[in-house]
Amino acid sequence: MAYAEGLNILVVDPEESVVLEYKELLGDAGHHVQATTEVALAVEEVKNGRFPLVVLDVSPPVEERLELLAKLRATDSDICVITTTAAPDAATAVRVLKIGALDYLSKPVPPEELQHVVDQAIREKGLLVDLETRLNQVLGERLRALRNGLGLTLKQVANRTGLSVSLISQIELGKSAASLSTLHKLSTALQVKLTYFFETL
């Protein structure tokens, strides 16, 4: 999935090879990844508020890692934590999820599974806006600014274009994508070039 900008992700894992693997995988997906094998640094990094998502290893010693997970969640209740472990068991999985982790993955984590869970976190937690959503928002803002600048109501624009008031409203709110045909009708009715909607994008 393509995003307007990358997400700041903190990877905390005692295995250097895993840290490098996750850093490369998530970096290639366009995210900004900081990785550390020093578990103690995680809370300080989260306190700085730079990381909305953490990939945290909770392999034994389990109690120490669960305590860290609880500290992370206490430091920032909105933080999204994906946990991994080399020693999966049901009891730990239940505890991890109760503390508030998004997922509990068994190592070695297949690259496509980690990417899928990160994408899921982004969607479910609203951590990033994807490019299509951002484009719809910008087009909607420009249409609304133009219409308001001309002192026109939605109904007046609808009459000029033959489009429904509902569709124009949805486009202005960024909830509907406008086809090129629709944008052409709008630009003609509002007497601007079609390129007005795409300048500086």
pLDDT exceeds 70 at position 5? no
pLDDT in tens, 49-80: 778 899 999 998 889 889 989 988 888 888 89
CATH topology agreement for domains 8-125 and 132-197 = no
State the pLDDT at residue 4: 46
Name the fold adopted by 8-125: Rossmann fold (3.40.50)
CATH topology of domain 132-197: 434 Repressor (Amino-terminal Domain) (1.10.260)
* C-alpha distances out from residue 86 to 13, 60, 68, 70, 99, Å: 11, 8, 17, 20, 19
The 3-state DSSP class for residue 10 equals strand
pTM of model > 0.75: no
Are the CB atoms for 1 and 26 separated by under 8 Å?
A: no
What confidence tens digit (pLDDT) does each residue in 6-54 have? 788 999 999 999 999 999 999 998 888 998 888 777 888 887 777 889 9
Q: What single-letter DSSP state applies at residue 45?
A: H
User: Domain residues of the chain, as ranges?
Assistant: 8-125, 132-197
Higher pLDDT, 190 or 46: 190
